[in-house]
A and B are shown apart, each in its own frame.
Chain A
Amino acid sequence: MSTARPQTFVLRGVRPYGTDPVDVVLADGVIAALGAPGTVEVPDGAHEITSTGTDEDGLVLLPGLVDLHTHLREPGREDAETVFSGTRAAAAGGFTAVHAMANTTPTQDTAGVVEQVHRLGEQAGWVDVHPVGAVTVGLGGERLAELGAMADSAARVRVFSDDGKCVHDPVLMRRALEYVKAFDGVVAQHAQEPRLTEGAQMNEGVVSAQIGLTGWPAVAEESIIARDVLLAEHVGSRLHVCHLSTAGSVEIIRWAKGRGIDVTAEVTPHHLVLTDELARDYDPVFKVNPPLRTAKDVEAVREGLADGTIDIVATDHAPHPVEDKDCEWSSAAFGMTGLETALSVVQQTMVDTGRLTWADVARVLSENPARIGRIGETQGRPIAVGEPANLVLVDPAATRAIDGRSQVTASDNTPFQGMELPGRVVATFLRGRATVLDGAPVDGTPVGGTLEGATR
């Protein structure tokens, strides 16, 4: 089946970054031609995709999305997700690369485990899989993992994180920040002061006070971010702040950037739109870490994303099996899926509100995360002739009702169940090969292929 699939495509009347329509030819894994409609030479047998919309709402062409924060769960929790199912969901969401978080079982804290995840990603063939290495052994927060070995491995790890746990020991954090400079790595911090969040279940505030769940105060995030930006400044390292969620965190990042500190920050789609009011019915699908905050925080992260204080949107896609969510709130697992809804949420909250252009979306969902993950030679590239054909084609005029059970991810825990979201991924291309066509993953024998960056 895969051999019969055309590997040459012509995209007619599509709008790169939402601008004027063009025709684009994808062949031999790259963008082979690009020009005004009807002006480009189309190879024989090319698969045609034609934009049916107008100049204003026709299909938008973006560089393939890059997620800096994905939980693929394999090895260890294959009941929630596998590298295959998770990367297939990523492709369905318009992604061409994901960074697989380190909190697997065993932990991605050695060259062996990161190479395993990397290899599973290659075999699956849906997106480029870049494993994130743990900062400390077993995410234990006590001893540095072999960061250098992971960096030198075939997985070529550049992003290190104990995500889910905070590297709270200031000395260990300082050492990690310093050590990864040797291979241009970055520490991606899950900012959560552990003592301030013992037993924490949700944002500490008006809602937690009423419904009697232990609070996760904003200050527990902000105090770690403040410490870390000062540490990064002191040792001259770059720091990435995972999924910041509070208005205060945005202010601290803004201050740090104003001071010239080399810090980048991410926000999740769910923190761009959902609030802690959703906890009132005790449905654990809304239990996530960091927790959903208040409407004021939502507005602050939107503003931070719009003005560039926040560099990227990353999904924190966190699949969980039903039994880990169909229980008491306090017993439930933290996390929600996001790969297949991220682009729609960004469109709804940022594009349709006029706060970001589609070029900005390409920046926050592709170019910046690729740059932070140091995979910018293959991902997050300009839409131009000769560039690798890692692309996503989006229908911004479409709307769709979200249903967890019919999503591609192996888990159902989407917080957007039953909601109508704008935008739909029509096609995704990984090095010129369609991984998604007509909105559905293209199953068949994966091409496999190597991560070009990995061989450099």
Chain B
Amino acid sequence: MKHLLTTQDMSKDDAILLLDTSAQMAATQSRENKKLPTLRGRTVVNLFYEDSTRTRISFETAAKRLSADVINFSAKGSSVSKGESLKDTALTLHAMGADAVVVRHSASGAAHQLAHAGWLDAGVLNAGDGMHQHPTQALLDAFTIRRHLVGHVGDDGRGTDTSVGADLAGLRIAIVGDVLHSRVARSNVYLLHTLGAEVTLVAPPTLVPVGVETWPCRVSYHLDETLERWQPDAVMMLRVQRERMSGGSGAFFPSPMEYSRKFGFDARRLAVLPDHAIVMHPGPMNRGLEISAAAADHPRSVIVEQVANGVAVRMAALYLLLSGTDSGDSGASTQQTSTDERNVL
């Protein structure tokens, strides 16, 4: 695994390897000394062209827990307004000897270009590119779903994870909200499908992209109907950007109030779900718009745990990217072997 750019072309073996490695990383995080020597002497650059507190801190924490040297490179605005092109920044990072570059950029494809344009030869980890992909978010979501709905963890969330090696076959996940602009939705649809889950996207028709028909999922325009009839095991709420949504050039829905009435998640809608169902949100939340405080803070909400799992997943991604060029392949074949063994048993 040289880069982590998208979940769309990720194999099931690689996905499970990432989740299983995340579980191992998570286990180390309950120790008193959380730091591992694994990436000592390696340099990880956090290249953030967009504001992001939680993702940047999550990656920084993950790299530091693996003993890597971390350089934070914040560049506000696009390459044009900043005056230095993405290419020149990449050449600079290359000259500095970065081993991995974690990149967030408002331009879809920026991570892909960094990885493939020949500007630098570091491993590239996509931390969100425009409306395209945010693969570690999808991985941490899948990891969280697997821990809760496939394995059994201790009450404090730190017990032994018995879901290792498992996929998400048969689980039903509803992803609700602004699918059109969401890299989280795109990443999750492909990853969850690859892991065997069924996905339904729920949004007003204005927030579903033209061309969605080729995505491996269903689409519904009705949240209540989806919750009642489809009975999802997890509901993932997406952030709605209030300012661009109603009126003006947006006009994706008439008003925040109408959106909230039809697509907001609250305690009433939570009560419709099966008892084991969990509520998720990638953050940051608009409380009162796409999710009510009661739902966000409900015991079945795993939103805070998603953040914690984010560190473990990013540790796993950094580890697999930097710990040897063929680790992905060998890891995948190891996984294949263990699956075969289970089948034999």
A213: which of B86, B108, B215, B249 is its contact (CB, 8 Å)? B108
Is A327 within 8 A of B210, CB to CB? no
Q: B186 → chain A, closest Cβ, in Å?
A: 6
Whose C-beta in chain B lies nearest to the C-beta of A201? B108
Known: A210-B186, A329-B109. A198 touches B249 (CB 8 A): yes
Give bound CA distance, A245 to B86, whole Å.
Answer: 31
Provided the pairs A205-B211, A213-B108 are in contact, do residues A326 and B183 lie with their beta carbons within 8 angstroms? no
Which of A195, A198, A204, A282 is within 8 Å of B108, CB to CB?
A282
- Which parts of B75-103 form the interface with A (CB within 8 Å)? 78-80, 85-87
Other-chain residue from A198, A281, A326, A330 in contact with B107 (beta carbon distance below 8 A): A330
Instruction: Tell me which of B87, B130, B132, B186 contacts A327 (CB under 8 A).
Output: B87
Count residues of chain A with CB under 8 A from any CB of chain B.
25
Distance from A206 Cβ to chain B, minimum over Cβ atoms (Å):
4
Q: How many residues of B contact A (CB 8 A)?
A: 32
The residues in B between 198 and 226 inclusive whose CB is less than 8 angstroms from any CB of A are 209-215
With a cutoff of 8 Å between Cβ atoms, the chain B residues found around residue A206 in the complex are 211, 213-214
Which residue of A209, A282, A329, A330 contacts B211 across the interface (Cβ within 8 Å)? A209
Q: Which residues of A contact B212 (CB under 8 A)?
A: 209
Indicate if B131 sits at the interface (CB-CB under 8 A). yes
Beta-carbon contact of A211 and B109 below 8 Å? yes
Instruction: Among B80, B112, B133, point to the contact of A331 (Cβ < 8 A).
Output: B80
B105 at the interface (CB under 8 A from A): yes
**Contact of B129 with A by CB under 8 A:** yes
Expressed in whole angstroms, the Cα–Cα distance for A209 and B8 within the complex equals: 12
Query: Are B211 and A211 in contact (CB-based, < 8 A)?
Result: no
Residues of A within 8 A of B215 (CB): 209-210
User: Is the C-beta of B286 less than 8 angstroms from some C-beta in chain A?
Assistant: no
Q: Which residues of A contact B34 (CB under 8 A)?
A: none
**A residues in contact with B183, CB < 8 Å:** 212
Q: Is A215 an interface residue (CB 8 A)?
A: yes
Give the distance to chain B from A114, nearest Cβ to Cβ, in Å.
Answer: 31
State whether B109 touches A213 (Cβ < 8 A): yes
Cβ contact within 8 Å between B113 and A282: yes
B78, B85, B116, B209: the one contacting A208 at CB < 8 Å is B209
Residues of the B chain whose Cβ atoms lie less than 8 Å from the Cβ of A204: 210-211
In the A-B complex, list the 8 residue pairs whose CB atoms are closest, starting with the nearest: A282-B109, A209-B211, A212-B132, A212-B131, A328-B107, A212-B108, A209-B209, A206-B211
Binding site for B on A (CB under 8 A): 195, 198, 201, 204-215, 217, 281-282, 323, 326-331
Mark B residues whose CB is within 8 Å of A.
8, 78-80, 85-87, 105-110, 112-113, 116-117, 129-133, 183, 186, 209-215, 249
Question: Can you list 28 A-B contacts with CB-CB less than 8 angstroms, sorted by A residue number?
Answer: A204-B210, A205-B211, A206-B213, A208-B209, A208-B210, A209-B214, A210-B211, A210-B214, A210-B215, A211-B109, A211-B132, A212-B129, A212-B133, A213-B109, A213-B130, A214-B131, A215-B210, A281-B112, A326-B85, A326-B87, A327-B79, A327-B85, A327-B87, A328-B86, A329-B107, A329-B109, A331-B79, A331-B107
